[in-house]
Amino acid sequence: MGILNVTPDSFSDGGEYLHGAAAAGHARAMAAAGAVIIDVGAESTRPGATPVGAEVEIARLAPVLRALSSAVPTVPLSVDTRDATVARFAIDAGAVLVNDVSAGGDPAMLPLVAERGVGICLMHMQGEPPTMQDDPRYGDVVSEVATFLEARMGAAVRAGVAEEAIVVDPGIGFGKSLDHNLALLRGLGVIASLGRPVLVGASRKGMIGALTGRGVAERLAGSLGAALAAVAAGASVLRVHDVAETVDALRVFTEIRGGGA
């Protein structure tokens, strides 16, 4: 899953792809490099970010989704939003997956996903982006996250979402310390035992910076390390900024393990 942030303030690529032409070019390059989903987000959820509201999200998404429908017509599009109004707009514009970092926190989200027959990624987050990194605490982070995701899967199915339409995500960096992130990545098998594909997004995140001492622009190698470790531990979808490099790393990794890319 290639990341396309159409935001002025995302932590690593804010402001780069705000306009349709730049976004389309980047999407084309990610698709050519092997992205099989492009995740378009119009609201930063980095630590400290403030919500922007549905109108702003839709105004940012509209020209970009239009441009993508002709630039990458065969690549499934995902919309990264917590707002059902925004999701509805994006689905109408061609999105087939809702990537919801609040796991259906908007009461209208799960019924919408059910009604429109699209997929949903249910992600775990403790707290809210403005304050989520202020001293996050857990008893046993892996079992708490797994229990939350199981409950949200249940809520989605009760709302009419097909179980096969669900992807789950432990939410690396969303209300988690470095130790919490490491425990979750080591314990992905527990999340995978929920029976649905596990998505992991560690690309360029703070945990990579904490482990390598590198700034956001220099986290590629660390991100590749996290991506391979995630796959080894049970991830089946990787949400990344650097698609070409991740695909190469995965190809070598999976060939050596005997699985094929």
Q: Identify whether 46 is a catalytic site residue.
A: no
Number of residues interacting with ligand HH2: please give it, by CB under 6 A.
Answer: 21
How far out from the chain centre does Cα 51 lie?
17
Question: Of 60, 239, 251, 257, which residue is the catalytic one?
Answer: 239
**Residue choice 2, 4, 6, 12 for contact with ligand HH2 (CB under 6 A):** 12
Q: Which is nearer to ligand HH2, 104 or 201 (CB)?
A: 201
137 included as an active-site residue: no
Q: Binding to ligand HH2 by residue 191, rule CB under 6 A? A: no
The least CB distance from residue 158 to ligand HH2, in Å, is: 22
CB of 256 to ligand HH2, least distance (A): 26
Q: Which of 81, 99, 102, 133 binds ligand HH2 (CB under 6 A)?
A: 99
- Chain positions 218 to 247 lying near ligand HH2, rule: CB under 6 A, are 239
Q: 106 has which bridge partners?
A: none
Q: In what order do the strands lie in the sheet with 38-41?
A: 2-5, 38-41, 77-80, 97-100, 119-123, 166-169
DSSP string, 228-251: HHHHHHT--EE-BS-HHHHHHHHH
Kindly indicate which of the ranges 7-15, 52-60, 186-194, 215-223 contains the residues binding ligand HH2, using the contact rule CB under 6 A. 7-15
The Cβ of residue 259 has, within 10 Å, a number of other Cβ atoms equal to 10
**For residue 185, which of 140, 246, 231 has the smallest C-alpha distance?**
231
Out of 6, 10, 113, 231, name the contact with ligand HH2 by CB under 6 A. 10
Contact flags string 141-180 toward ligand HH2, x per CB under 6 A: ----------------------------x-xx--------
Question: What is the rounded end-to-end Cα distance, in angstroms, of the chain?
Answer: 15
Distance CA 85, CA 108 (A): 8
What is the number of the residue whose Cβ is closest to ligand HH2? 201
Does 88 help bind ligand HH2 (rule: CB under 6 A)?
no
Give me the residue label for tokens 């991830």.
235
| CA-only gyration radius of the chain, Å | 17
Stretch that binds ligand HH2, among 44-52, 89-97, 103-111, 158-166 (CB under 6 A): 44-52
- Measured from the CB atom, the residue of 112 and 125 that comes closer to ligand HH2 is 125
Q: Which of 57, 80, 106, 242 binds ligand HH2 (CB under 6 A)?
A: 80
- Cα 33 to Cα 29, 96, 146, 242, 247: the distances in Å are 6, 21, 32, 9, 7
Q: State how far the Cα of 97 lies from the Cα of 164, in Å rounded to an integer.
A: 12
Q: How far apart are CA 127 and CA 186, in angstroms?
A: 22
Question: Which residues are catalytic, by number?
Answer: 205, 239
Q: What residues make contact with ligand HH2 under the rule CB under 6 A?
A: 3, 5, 7, 10-12, 41, 44-46, 80, 99, 101, 121, 123, 169, 171-172, 199, 201, 239
